[in-house]
Amino acid sequence: MKIGKIPSDALKRIIYSNISNNRPEVMVRPNIGEDCSVIDFDKYGAVISTDPITGTTNDIGSLAVHINCNDIASNGVEPLGIMLTILAPPETTEEDLAKVMADANKAAASINVEILGGHTEITTAVNQMVISGTAIGRQLKDKVILSKGAQVGDAVIMTKHAGLEGASIISNDLEDKLKSTLTQDEIKNAQSFAKDISVVKEGVIAGNIGTSSMHDVTEGGVLGALWELAEASQLGIKVFSEQIPLKKETKTICEFFSINPFKLISSGVMIMTISEDKVKLLLDSLKNEKIDATVIGKITEKDRVVVKDNEALRLDPPDADELYKVIG
């Protein structure tokens, strides 16, 4: 199988088909495009998500915190805690572990999240450090936002810019290769994209305003996330390629490595759908918090397309992320 997330059809055939026991307390179960499970605790819902960091070894403590907490934020919920499992190869030093935990602690403090515990192990089962996190948040049940809540006619809004995380990873891990096509300042700028990798602030803002659905962009990039959001709602989507924000540095990096920036891992980007009458309020609220946001399309009844140069191209399910073509 290809490196990266299991394809959507395989998830349905192999993973979801083997989950059969249902409990009445579970409000949201596994589904394509849904970032979290939600469990009924009286008037509240406990929102839970889990994700590993495998595509890089740089800043993995910080990434593990932000990636998992981003999923919680996609439900319009402020994350409150996270558990971390660290699997490290035998050559790992105490200093290596200390740096990972210092980075994780700093990231958690930046979004007011507590590290609740976890597990740390040295093992020959991995050849580089792997961290998996499980984050949790709490929200009133009637205020939890799901990926499947989009409605026909809703505007599709995207925060920040495509390929944010991927460009940061590539510019850090392959800096020497990029020196022939980017200036040192441009490389440093691309590396700095990681500072915007949290979507907690925009997720909570959007949740308070009342978006119909949200989905944070991870593997598969912006186009993958758009397809997943439409699939979760069983609706169509029409997106305009030229309206998707893209930084010059990301464009140059992707051209250099012959990869598609719109299919590049983009943690730090949130996709939101919202009724037309609330669009201005949402955009203004995000702008007030210095968060860039752009209307890139709308929800439709059935067709899923990306319009490029006045041609409507079919939006397909996400394949292996473009990052793995560059960093194996």
H or E segment and range at residue 40: strand 37-41
pLDDT of residue 34: 83
The reported pLDDT for the residue numbered 54 is 86
Residue 109 is predicted with a pLDDT of 97
AA letter at 321: D
| Least trusted range by pLDDT, from 30-34, 183-187, 301-305 | 30-34
CA-CA distance, 282 to 286, in Å (whole number)?
Answer: 6
**Global pTM exceeds 0.85:** yes
pLDDT value at position 147?
79
Is the per-residue pLDDT at 33 higher than 90? no
pLDDT of residue 301: 96
**pLDDT for res 3:** 83
On the question of pLDDT at 87 being above 90, the answer is yes
- Position 58 scores a pLDDT of 81
Rounded to the nearest angstrom, the gap between the alpha carbon of residue 99 and the centroid of all alpha carbons in its chain is 24
Q: Which helix (H) or strand (E) holds 240?
A: strand 236-240
| DSSP string across 80-101 | EEEEEEEEE-TT--HHHHHHHH
Find the mean pLDDT for residues 209-218.
Answer: 95
Average pLDDT, whole number, for the chain?
A: 94
Residue 328 has pLDDT above 80, yes or no: no
Q: Following DSSP, what letter does each residue of 167-234 receive, concatenated?
A: HHHHHHHTHHHHTTTS-HHHHHHHHGGGGG---HHHHHHHHHHT-SEEEE--TTHHHHHHHHHHHHHT
Q: Which long-range contacts (CB under 8 A, 24 or more apart) does 120-125 make?
A: 120/85, 120/86, 120/88, 121/85, 121/86, 121/87, 121/88, 122/88, 122/89, 122/90, 122/92, 123/87, 123/88, 123/89, 123/90, 124/89, 124/90, 125/87
At 161 the pLDDT is: 98
Encode pLDDT of 297-325 as tens digits: 999 999 999 999 889 999 999 988 999 99
Q: What is the pLDDT of residues 153-175, one digit of tens each?
A: 999 999 999 999 999 999 999 99
Segment 224-260, tens digit of pLDDT: 999 999 999 999 999 999 999 999 999 999 999 999 9
Reply yes or no on whether the pLDDT at 327 is more than 90. no
CATH numbers and ranges of domains, the chain: 8-143 (3.30.1330.10), 147-326 (3.90.650.10)
- In this predicted structure, what is the pLDDT of residue 234? 94
Rounded CA-CA distance 274/156 in Å is 7
| pLDDT, position 247 | 98
Rounded distance, CA 194 to CA 110, Å? 14
Predicted local distance difference test score (pLDDT) of residue 32: 86
pLDDT score, position 69: 97
User: Which residue in the block uniquely carries the two structure tokens 């960091």?
Assistant: 53
**Please, which residues have CB within 8 angstroms of residue 309's CB and are 6 or more apart in sequence?**
none
Q: How far is CA 229 from the centre of its chain?
A: 12
Tens of pLDDT, residue by residue over 92-106, are: 999 999 999 999 999
CA dist., res. 158 & res. 23, Å (int): 35
Q: What per-residue confidence (pLDDT) applies to 8? A: 87
Looking at 28-89, list the stretches that DSSP marks H as alpha helix, in order from N- to C-terminal side: 60-73
Asked if pLDDT for residue 200 goes beyond 80, the answer is yes
pLDDT at 143: 87
Average pLDDT over residues 178-193: 96
How many CA atoms lie less than 13 Å away from 240 in the CB half-sphere?
Answer: 12
**In 3-state terms, what secondary structure has residue 283?**
helix
Question: Is residue 16 predicted with pLDDT exceeding 80?
Answer: yes
Q: Give SS3 for 37.
A: strand
Query: Does the structure show a pLDDT above 90 at 6?
Result: no
CA 133 to CA 239: how far, in whole Å? 32
Q: Where residue 60 falls among pLDDT bands split at 50, 70, 90?
A: very high
- Token reading at 154: 């809703």
Query: Nearest-5° angle of CA 143, CA 148, CA 153?
Result: 95
